[in-house]
Chains A and B, each alone.
Chain A
Amino acid sequence: MLVNNDYRFTVKASLQIMREQREKLCSDCLDTGSGIYEGLHELKPENRCLYFQSYLTEWLDSHWECLDSVLGRHPEYTKDQQKQIILFFAEYFSKFLDDYDSSGIMSKLIIPDLLKAEQETLKDMIAINSKWEENLRKLKIEIKKHEEEFRKLISELDAN
């Protein structure tokens, strides 16, 4: 269990990650060289959708990179404390992913079940917390897979 100070750290770290990622989203919207603008300049709606989905998936996944870097800055945390922090974040992140499939650009994913698979892993991580490390590795592999799959689809689009 998390003791008071760890709990405070966990909440603050999670808030910091969410805030940093919101800032990233806004600054990418102002950066005309970002993936968002590649999508904005696509005339065909399906191509535009691919770029937007690629950007948003990368943005969602970067929340986990951010958590990694926060934990990396705190080597004083024991493995068990890290586990509690990751599980806490996983719970909220899973809620964050919850209604992506009901509306918006991510509701009709070009790579089917992309978010569903991630949510399954998160749910397993929370439910069987003895296997949290295994599921975290699985999640990181899924993140890599997202990058590769989108890169492949975008390069196919560019080639045509």
Chain B
Amino acid sequence: MGIMPGHEKVEKEYVNTKMEGIAKREEHYMQLLRSYKEEIAEIESMMREIRKERESFYQSTLPQIEATIQNDKVLSEDAKKEWIQELRANMEKSLRISEELIQKYVTSHLAEFNAELIQAKNRM
């Protein structure tokens, strides 16, 4: 069955309008991304710093502390073990809270970003 000539025109116009809409939306999305570029970079740098700090703690600071404590021959093994365990637990707790803080920052930005996106979509 062939398409009626009038119908073909309407369909073409519909496709064009739809394409224009998508293009506009994409453009706006890119604009939004550009305006949030600084925040995205900031969040990335916060996360990178935490990762680096945790890595540096386990790879260099903790072994250094363990060596200092181990070198003290007067100390009991129980005391050394107890404190090292406590130190690790406190460091991990503190790092986790920092990660939660960053997560909260990301979530609030995402909410703001989504709200702007919805607003832009509604304007079109």
> A77: CB under 8 A from chain B?
no
> A73: CB under 8 A from chain B?
no
Complex Cα distance, B94 from A45, in Å, reads 26
Which listed residue, A18, A25, A59, touches B98 by the CB 8 Å rule? A18
The B contact surface, by secondary structure, is: helix
Q: Which of B75-111 contact A (CB under 8 A)?
A: 75-76, 78-80, 82-83, 85-87, 89-91, 93-95, 97-98, 100-102, 104-105, 108
Number of interface residues of A (CB under 8 A): 32
> Quick check: A39 and B101 within 8 Å, CB to CB?
no
Tier of interface size on chain B: 35 or more
State the 4 A-B residue pairs at the shortest beta-carbon distance, nearest first.
A29-B65, A11-B105, A18-B98, A40-B79
Chain B residues close to A by CB (< 8 Å): 42, 46, 53, 57, 61, 64-65, 68-69, 72, 74-76, 78-80, 82-83, 85-87, 89-91, 93-95, 97-98, 100-102, 104-105, 108
